[in-house]
Amino acid sequence: MDKDIATPVRTRAILEKYGFSFKKSLGQNFLIDTNILKKIVSFADLTDESGAIEIGPGIGALTEQLARSSKKTVAFEIDQRLLPILEDTLSPYSNVKVIHNDVLKADVAEVIAAEFADISDLMVVANLPYYVTTPIIMKLLEEHLPIRGIVCMLQKEVADRISAKPGTKDYGSLSIAVQYYTEAETVMIVPKTVFVPQPNVDSAVIRLTRRENPAVQVKDENFFFQVTKASFAQRRKTLLNNLTSGLPDGKQKKEEILAALAASGIEPSRRGETLSLEEFGRLSDELYAYFQ
């Protein structure tokens, strides 16, 4: 087996060979600890029949581990300067394809159809660029891609918000948006010392396992998310206040909002952070008749 890319010595040698300088604006913090990488991959439960999609391969540290644990790995990298480096570092692996594109602009569904036609088990595994973690995760979930789930490294603070339970300070519209589509768990806290350069924030790995059906059945998904966002607009405000100021024409429709709260058995004086997904589902269905 080839020497791992993710050791401090080999990483430094690769960076020096190519005169590579990190771009902070692209969230470039590379992993230099093979044990951490192997653990990340183990959380994805891949087999030699699985496919892996990586976002931001960097110099290939995680890509290499994915190539060894999957049938095929496809990685999206935005930074053109990394392409010749990846060609070099990943040359021992014939089951890897690197696509030069911004993952937020890429047609991921089309890539999956083209690259993974013979693979039914598909996972996204990534050490995400921290400046765009939430848009990337939401894109992957909202596009209803045929993936089993996502295992990714991100800022610990965002991981806490994603996996938060009702009644906690971290619970908010992001927790609901992600938990609507997936079961979310934080599986590992990662120290800053395993990256070059070291990020300014603490990191964590989360595992999102796609639900067969969304956590709640609602009449209108977009309206459900509109209601949850409005409910958390100002955390210290009551649900009634947030809904009257956050929903279209909410102030004129205060009576209707009160009726919907009553019909769903939710006290108007409660705060958004105390409502479960089921309660938000009931409430948004009751409100829907008045706002559609």
We find the least distance from the C-beta atom of residue 151 to ligand SAM, in angstroms, to be 12
Residue 163 contacts residue 183 (beta carbons within 8 Å): no
Task: Tell me the closest approach of the beta carbon of residue 119 to ligand SAM, in angstroms.
Answer: 21
Residue number, 11 or 179, with CB nearest to ligand SAM: 11
The distance of closest approach from Cβ of residue 101 to ligand SAM in the complex, given in angstroms and rounded to an integer, is 7
Residue ranges that bind ligand SAM, judged by CB under 6 A: 26-31, 55-58, 61-62, 76-79, 82, 102-104, 127, 129, 132
Which of 55/90 has CB closer to ligand SAM? 55
Q: How far is the CB of 268 from ligand SAM (least distance, A)?
A: 42
Q: Before 197, cis peptide (omega within 30)?
A: yes
* Token pair 């009702």: residue: 166
Residue 102 assigned as binding residue: yes
Bridge partners of residue 12, in order along the sequence: none
Q: Does 127 belong to an annotated binding site?
A: yes
Nearer to ligand SAM by C-beta: 42 or 269? 42
Does residue 56 have a known ligand-binding role? Answer: yes
The reply to whether 77 sits in an annotated binding site is: yes
Q: What are the structure tokens assigned to 160, written together?
A: 């806490």
Is 167 exposed, middle or buried (CB count within 10 Å of its CB: 0-12, 13-18, 19+)? exposed
**Could you tell me the smallest distance in angstroms from the CB atom of residue 135 to ligand SAM?**
9
Q: Which is nearer to ligand SAM, 132 or 206 (CB)?
A: 132
Q: CA separation (Å) from 160 to 32, 192, 207? A: 24, 17, 12
Residue 29 known to bind ligand: yes
Q: Closest CB to ligand SAM belongs to which residue?
A: 56
Non-local (6+) Cβ contacts of 12 within 8 A are 196
CB 283 within 8 A of CB 274: no
Nearer to ligand SAM, 59 or 260 (CB): 59
Q: How far is the CB of 115 from ligand SAM (least distance, A)?
A: 16
- What six digits make up the tokens of 106? 């890429």
Q: Give Cα separations from 221 to 145, 225, 289 (angstroms).
A: 17, 6, 14
Residue 255, judged by CB atoms within 10 A of its CB (0-12, 13-18, 19+), counts as exposed
- The number of beta carbons lying within 10 Å of the beta carbon of residue 185 is 14
Which residues are known binding-site members?
29, 31, 56, 77, 102, 127
Which residues are known binding-site members for S-adenosyl-L-methionine?
29, 31, 56, 77, 102, 127
